[in-house]
Amino acid sequence: MKKTINIYPKIILLLGGLVLGLTGCSKDDDSTNKTEDIITSQSLKMDLTQLKKENAGVFMQAFYWDVEPKGEWYNQISTKIEEYKAAGVNRIWLPAPGKGASGSFSMGYDPSDYFDVGEFDQHGTIKTRFGSRQELVDLIQKAHANDIEVIADIVIGHNSGGGLQANPFRGGTEVYSLFNESNGNASGKFNRTNDHFHPNDIHNQDDSNLFYAETDLCHDQPYVQDWLWGRDDSVAEFYKKTLGFDGWRFDYVKSFDPKWVKAWNDKIGGFSVGENFDGNQQVLKDWVDASGSPAFDFACFYRLDETLDRAKDLTALGEADNMLRKLDPSKAVTFTANHDTEKDKNPDNRISYGNKLLAYSYILTHDGYPTIFYLDYEAFKGQLNTLIQIHNTLAVGDIEIIEANKDEYIMKRKGNGDNPGLILYMNISKQPKQRIVKTNWINKTLVDYTDNSRATPTTDADGNTTLYAPAGGYAIWSITK
């Protein structure tokens, strides 16, 4: 359905019978941006610093797989703390700090000595891949001075790097289950034997998946519970009270019962999030209910990957209850990439580079707690800073999906109090789009706070107006000052 619309500098709306309920027919928009439109739209924007919402902030995954240079990562992140604060980051997630079996090559997911965070000479190195204990403490203190919490990656499902030991519950087969001062545990704290792994005198395995079965920690053993979180000098207490960590990212929670996450958090406290690597939203909801902890919203991640990359159809974004954030937004930590997805060679397990910003426009305008991936931030810093500011200010109020079709997704945040909220317009077609929508704003001039569109449409007495989205892009609309 075609209709002539003049976009300079305000939109003249010819509504009549074109308004059908909340939306009208969309059409390709072949308008171009003019210099006067750019000047006008920028000068009309509200001062968003005056609209900072309660509990504002985003989560920064401050590492990627195989970070370089070895031994200097803490120092590198330390140089970025002020930048993260200015952007609106309120937490950073660091890799597992303990010494791994692969020494200076370890990304922390082969834990050997939880208490060696870069001070004992073992596995061929004193520093971890990320740095020394003092450099870690310095980074945490700098983050705290800038009102940023620091979250530790916690790998408590399995261990690596111990000495060989015959396991009678495996018919005498030798496995690497001996951890002491001479075998991968130079700190001498939380020494372990085959009694503390599966199988043992309690059971063959717990109710969850075995991961590295020969050295799968048995959390039903009181000794393991005590050293991980129960004792005053436990791993958790050391990380929180001595090193200064503020919370936890629990790695691969499918390998142990969610009640152990609850027990850890009940004893230690702090923010936490679990990595339940599952695209089924109900699996995620069941886990957060059992653990009491938020979880990464893999269901949201896979819906974005599906709609943007595989199906190239945004319709599924409008479906009910197909993400954790739709079932329980208070427990959903949303993301578009992490260290695992970015190194996965399967394109179905990662969002393509060309669609990253579309995915971020979604998670940074919807509910849930959004995560920014280090490499994405470095690649799209300007655009992400804008989206983070929008998230921390305008992304408030109830969510209403206005349109979800093959090419377009339009969502409204209704705002609250003096905060007007926003409208997100995503368009994955190869042509610019425009659509008549019903807003909550009466007789107001609007502007795209991402500057992806320079139009300045005006709503009528019923709140109707025409909004725009660029080809293969997005716009985020709200009222002017």
- Residue 303 pLDDT class (50, 70, 90 cuts): very high
Length of the chain: 481
Same domain, 191 and 229: yes
pLDDT of 28: 72
Q: Determine the 3-state secondary structure of 170 from DSSP.
A: helix
Q: Is 407 annotated as a binding residue?
A: yes
Helix H segments across 244-373?
258-268, 281-291, 298-305, 324-327, 356-363
275 is known as an active-site residue: yes
Helix H segments across 22-162?
35-44, 73-78, 81-87, 133-145
Question: Using CA of residue 435, residue 436, residue 440, residue 445, what is the dihedral sign?
Answer: positive
Which residue in the list 116, 153, 275, 403 is annotated as catalytic? 275
Same domain, 163 and 191: yes
User: What is the reported pTM?
Assistant: 0.92
Count CB atoms within 10 A of the CB of residue 175: 17
Same domain, 295 and 423: no
Same domain, 209 and 358: yes
Q: Determine the 3-state secondary structure of 143 from DSSP.
A: helix
What is d(CA 280, CA 278) in angstroms, rounded to the nearest whole number?
6
Whether 79 is in a domain gets the answer: yes
Check residues 421 and 37 and name the one with the higher pLDDT. Answer: 421
Check residues 7 and 75 and name the one with the higher pLDDT. Answer: 75
Q: Is 451 annotated as a binding residue?
A: no
Q: List, for residues 8-19, the tens digit of each pLDDT value.
A: 233 333 333 333
pLDDT of 29: 62
Whether 10 is in a domain gets the answer: no
Same domain, 334 and 369: yes
Q: List, for residues 397-408, the tens digit of each pLDDT value.
A: 999 999 999 999
Contact 265, 287 (CB under 8 A): no
Q: How high does pLDDT run on average in the chain? A: 92
- Of 359, 391, 423, the residue at which a domain comes to its end is 391
Whether 3 is in a domain gets the answer: no
Same domain, 273 and 322: yes
Q: Which two tokens stand for residue 290?
A: 């059992």
Q: What is the pLDDT averaged over residues 362-389?
A: 98
Q: List, for residues 91-104, the tens digit of each pLDDT value.
A: 999 999 999 999 99
Whether 2 is in a domain gets the answer: no
251 is known as an active-site residue: yes
Query: In what helix (H) or strand (E) does residue 224 lie, and over which residues does it extend?
Result: helix 222-225
Query: In what helix (H) or strand (E) does residue 343 lie, and over which residues does it extend?
Result: none
What is d(CA 114, CA 238) in angstroms, rounded to the nearest whole number?
10
Q: Is 206 annotated as a binding residue?
A: no
Q: What is the pLDDT averaged over residues 50-65?
A: 94
Q: What is the pLDDT averaged over residues 318-346?
A: 97
What is d(CA 448, CA 423) in angstroms, rounded to the nearest whole number?
9
Q: What is the CATH number of the domain that holds 431?
A: 2.60.40.1180
Query: In what helix (H) or strand (E) does residue 257 lie, and over which residues does it extend?
Result: none
Same domain, 223 and 336: yes
Whether 152 is in a domain gets the answer: yes
What DSSP state is assigned to residue 13?
A: P
Q: What is the pLDDT averaged over residues 40-52?
A: 87
- 228 Cβ contact list (under 8 Å, min separation 6): 156, 190, 219, 234, 235, 236, 264
Q: List, for residues 122-137, the tens digit of each pLDDT value.
A: 999 999 999 999 999 9
Query: In what helix (H) or strand (E) does residue 180 lie, and over which residues does it extend?
Result: none
- Of 338, 372, 391, the residue at which a domain comes to its end is 391
Domain that holds residue 44: 16-51+399-479
Q: What is the CATH number of the domain that holds 365?
A: 3.20.20.80
Q: Is 213 annotated as a binding residue?
A: yes
Q: What is the pLDDT averaged over residues 233-244?
A: 98
- Residue 33 pLDDT class (50, 70, 90 cuts): low
Q: List, for residues 263-294, the tens digit of each pLDDT value.
A: 999 999 999 999 999 999 999 999 999 999 99
Same domain, 47 and 79: no
Same domain, 407 and 386: no
Q: Which two tokens stand for residue 158?
A: 């399995």
Which residue in the list 251, 297, 305, 403 is annotated as catalytic? 251
Same domain, 85 and 205: yes
Same domain, 110 and 163: yes
Same domain, 342 and 420: no
% residues pLDDT > 90 (the chain): 87
% residues pLDDT > 70 (the chain): 92
Q: Which two tokens stand for residue 25?
A: 């027919």
> Pseudo-torsion of CA 98, 240, 54, 326, nearest 10°?
50
Whether 335 is in a domain gets the answer: yes
Domain count of the fold of the chain: 2
